[in-house]
Homo-oligomer: A and B are copies of this chain.
Amino acid sequence: MADYQEILVTENPLEVEKAYAHAQAGNTGAVNIFVGTVRNKTDTRNVVNLEYEAYEGMAIKEMRKIAEEAASKWPVEKIIIHHRVGKLRVGEATVVIAVSTPHRHDSFEACRYIIDTLKKSVPIWKKEVFEDGEEWVSAHP
């Protein structure tokens, strides 16, 4: 694994400060951080909690690829991707992505590319548990 990347899938709560600290580097002038969190509602249904499941080996491999693609498109210093799995409560962080670059616009663009691509290709699945049932997100048309 290239040392500009740090990819992690974990059942432990994510810490934004830790992702930020790892993204910091001498030549960095900008760090963009995206945090996905558990919302209290989907449409009008109240979310009780979320369950995330990963095909872990492949998920890490796909996230490494995405980091490599981002590093080939923008002059990044560091890319941190921490993804939570297991049971999450409303308000908890599901994913933290931190990208450091010399100049700020690159940090925004690379970070957005990473979260957009991650949502399309990384084998992680989210089940929403409502007060009145549960559902795998996006499973059905």
Contact = CB atoms under 8 A, between A and B. Distances in A.
Contacts of A105: 112
Interface in A19-56: 20, 24, 26-41
A71 interface: no
Nearest to A25: B91
Query: Majority SS of interface residues in chain A?
Result: mixed
A90 interface: yes
A104 B31 CA distance: 17
Per assembly, the copies of the chain total 2
A36 B29 contact: yes
Interface of A: 15-17, 20, 24, 26-41, 90-91, 100, 102, 104-105, 107-108, 111-112, 115
B24 A30 contact: no
Contacts of A31: 33-35, 37
Contacts of A111: 32, 108
A12 to B, nearest CB: 15
Given A15-B17, A16-B17, A33-B16, A102 B28 contact: no
